[in-house]
Structure 1
Amino acid sequence: MSRPSLLDRLARACDSRAQSSLLRRMRSVSAVEGMHTVIDGQRLLNFASNDYLGLAQHPALIEAMNLAALRWGVGTSAAHLLGGHREEHSLLEEDLAAWTGRKRALLFSTGYMANLGVMQALVAPRDVCIQDKLNHACLIDGARLAGARLKRYRHVDVGSARRQLAADPSSAALLATDGVFSMDGDIAPLAELSALCREQQATLMVDDAHGFGVLGATGAGSLEEAGLGQDAAPVMMATLGKALGVAGAFVAGSGDLIDGLVQFARTQIYTTAMPPALAAATRVAIRLTREESWRRDTLHHLIRQFREGAAARGIALADSRTPIQPVLIGGNNDALRASAQLEAAGFFVPPIRPPSVPENSARLRITLSAAHEESQIEQLLDVLAGIKTTP
């Protein structure tokens, strides 16, 4: 009896995706010029970037990174606990804690690693983890890898979350949610979820990857906008590679939380620390985000312009007031066709298809940046108006 081949099985799975118009392919970018990107020799206006505040190419960030690289070198060559934690990391963690109103913060190499590490440290197989059905994959994977009993509640439905928690009143419970949902752009009912967690004695964890830098009076994110401090939302995670334009992630909360993560978050303990030069650039991004509120003002102005222009042209949008503006298509082939039409017209908007989104909800995930111009928004809307965009 022959043993099945794992590589053959993987190849068959890829073939199946191709037949369903779900096969992904990598495309190399040969140049970036502001909000334009060059792919396959074509200069395209990028409406797929998470660079919400237009900071990724800011001269001050580039200068800070270059100067820090001259001092510290390119890489740390060690994990944080083994000599990789440099002064720049400590200063960045202090800045992040102060900005978010938390006692302390801890850096991770990526948001995915941060969520996996938090789950590993907090929950055990006997615990229950309640999550929104549209949470990012890393929250779902984190609960599964930690061995928790994962239960999913209806999207942004606090009543559904309450029923899930009430059904298991004796187990330790973590309720985890995105702050801003990455494929829909809507915002979780954080104040209501926080109240529910107090009522049910559960711990609230918020992944604010897409709200951090964008929402709130100072840009500290969806928790700031909701008025939720450390006690009301004990575990906050956010990434640095979206609105701040750099890379990496952090978790912020109490001293006990951070001490526990240093001991038990395997994805932080057993990986090389981020380059100190990157941490130095991130500190500049934080300063600019906090001081230059016009970036958020411009972004939200462009969001309103896009939504009003879409409504005037009969373009159906999902309900979102964030930079993520999904145009629902439905079928996979239709989404591929719409994306190709946009590319032919000079716009880069890749199609989003299952399993990144539910079946029959393929879409164009348009993302806006403060670096876009009003005229560019109007050009995109004019092209979209000529494309079938309703399921």
Structure 2
Amino acid sequence: MTRVGLSPLAWLDTVEQQRRLAGLRRSLRTRPAVATELDLASNDYLGLSQHPAVIEGGVAALRTWGAGSTGSRLVTGNTELHEEFETALAEFVGAQAALVFSSGYTANIGAGVALSGPGSLVVSDALSHASLVDACRLSRARVVVAAHCDLDAVESALADRDEERALVITESVFSTDGALAPLRQLHEVCRRHQAILLVDEAHGLGVRGAGGRGLVHEAGLAGAPDVVITTTMSKSLGSQGGVVLGQAAVRDHLIDAARTMIFDTGLAPAPVGAALAALGVLAAEPWRAGAVIERARQLAEMCDVPETPESAVVSVILGDPESAVAAAAACLDAGVRVGCFRPPTVPAGTSRLRLTARASLTDDEMDTAREVLSAVLGAHPR
């Protein structure tokens, strides 16, 4: 059948209207160089993205190595700086080796796919980050989505498998509500069934563990041969990029098999230099990790959140997306920027404000937050 006068993109208008009616239309929010509002939305948990030493680390790398990495890491994109950072981060978290990717997203896909594949089983937590979900989809493995933090479901999936190899995937700190995964118990399940445990520490590094070494370290699993860590340099380290950490054999395998490393341009030197400097600040100022959680607990108290936060994330559930959008807009109008999470990021009926604490928040800023949040949440009852 010949279609006359119909644009091949006409379906986008219908989809856009459906999203708008459901309160799920998204838009980019432009941030000025000098923010005029209080930031309770970013993932700059330690307040290091504007730290002078971190900025200087990026500038020094830019001057030394240039603006771009010039190619994939297997061709011209690997520098001494990349390897210096990998060694420093691995030593900090207690891993044997590390490998830098261009983002946390590509690190998760690279590790998830390369450690599974056809003929293997992947068991993933139902609330795993989108990058981990995409890794499952691309793995060509048999995938079982286990109920959130359900140890029995993971045990059952592993016990019933016919596949020789198995990979269990979880976040350490879940990004939407800040809850902690039961890593020690999950690792025991994996070890009983000879499965690899892949832990995304994006929201754990810099916040949990001694001096911010992460929840894996806190759980006593640092350096375990059957544990692989992924993380990002864009949150607590205030920069950009992703990393996979584990045994040296894992690093070697990823160099051979992780397509998001092999075929991607290497991470530019400037963010590597900035992340290395941020790691130095964290090592010298371990108090920052505890300060994040203390500020998060204060934010939860302001918002009458019953659960005591165990990470930087404070989730204030409002229910429908329109209420969450309106409350976030009211906060911004009053000078406080907060996150607004709606489906499909969170389940239907749980649209929320997502507040993030920062180690560098001052007492005056916390007073401002209390005043604004109390007023806005009073006008948008849960």
TM-score norm. by structure 1 comes to 0.92
Match for residue 12 of structure 1?
14
Q: Is residue 290 of structure 2 the alignment partner of residue 330 of structure 1?
A: no
The Cα shift of 1:115 comes to 0.9
Superposed counterparts of 1:1-391, under 5 Å: 1-2=1-2, 7-32=9-34, 37=35, 43-231=36-224, 233-310=226-303, 315-318=304-307, 320-386=309-375, 387-388=377-378, 391=382
Q: Provide the rounded CA distance (Å) in 1 between the counterparts of 2:7 and 2:132.
A: 30
C-alpha contact (below 8 Å) 2:40/2:338 kept by paired residues: yes
C-alpha contact (below 8 Å) 1:181/1:210 kept by paired residues: yes
Q: Provide the rounded CA distance (Å) in 1 between the counterparts of 2:122 and 2:144.
A: 6
Q: Provide the rounded CA distance (Å) in 2 between the counterparts of 1:184 and 1:350.
A: 12
The Cα shift of 1:293 comes to 1.4
> Which amino acid in structure 2 is aligned with residue 145 of structure 1?
L
Change (3 A) 1:162 1:285: same
> Which amino acid in structure 1 is aligned with residue 313 of structure 2?
I
Q: Deviations over 1:258-294 (max 9, x none)?
A: 1110001000011111122221221111111011112
The Cα shift of 1:336 comes to 1.1
> Which amino acid in structure 1 is aligned with residue 310 of structure 2?
R
Question: How many residue pairs align between the two structures?
Answer: 378
Q: Provide the rounded CA distance (Å) in 2 between the counterparts of 1:101 and 1:157.
A: 27
> Which amino acid in structure 2 is aligned with residue 22 of structure 1?
L
C-alpha contact (below 8 Å) 2:40/2:336 kept by paired residues: yes
The Cα shift of 1:367 comes to 0.3
Unaligned runs of 5+ in 2: none
Q: Provide the rounded CA distance (Å) in 2 between the counterparts of 1:348 and 1:233.
A: 40
Q: Provide the rounded CA distance (Å) in 1 between the counterparts of 2:7 and 2:166.
A: 40
C-alpha contact (below 8 Å) 2:149/2:182 kept by paired residues: yes
Which has the larger displacement, 65-74 or 50-59? 65-74
The Cα shift of 1:16 comes to 1.1
Change (3 A) 1:6 1:163: farther
C-alpha contact (below 8 Å) 1:72/1:276 kept by paired residues: yes
C-alpha contact (below 8 Å) 1:330/1:390 kept by paired residues: no
Q: Provide the rounded CA distance (Å) in 2 between the counterparts of 1:347 and 1:233.
A: 43
Q: Provide the rounded CA distance (Å) in 1 between the counterparts of 2:226 and 2:50.
A: 33
Q: Provide the rounded CA distance (Å) in 1 between the counterparts of 2:162 and 2:364.
A: 54
> Which amino acid in structure 2 is aligned with residue 142 of structure 1?
A
The Cα shift of 1:317 comes to 4.9
The Cα shift of 1:5 comes to 6.1
Match for residue 40 of structure 1?
none
> Which amino acid in structure 2 is aligned with residue 12 of structure 1?
T
Percent sequence identity is 37
C-alpha contact (below 8 Å) 2:121/2:163 kept by paired residues: no
CA RMSD of aligned residues (A): 1.7
The Cα shift of 1:224 comes to 0.9
Task: Please give the secondary structure, in 2, of the residue aligned with 1:280.
Answer: helix
> Which amino acid in structure 1 is aligned with residue 360 of structure 2?
A
Unaligned runs of 5+ in 1: 38-42
> Which amino acid in structure 2 is aligned with residue 194 of structure 1?
H
> Which amino acid in structure 2 is aligned with residue 149 of structure 1?
R
The Cα shift of 1:203 comes to 0.8
Q: Provide the rounded CA distance (Å) in 2 between the counterparts of 1:63 and 1:57.
A: 10
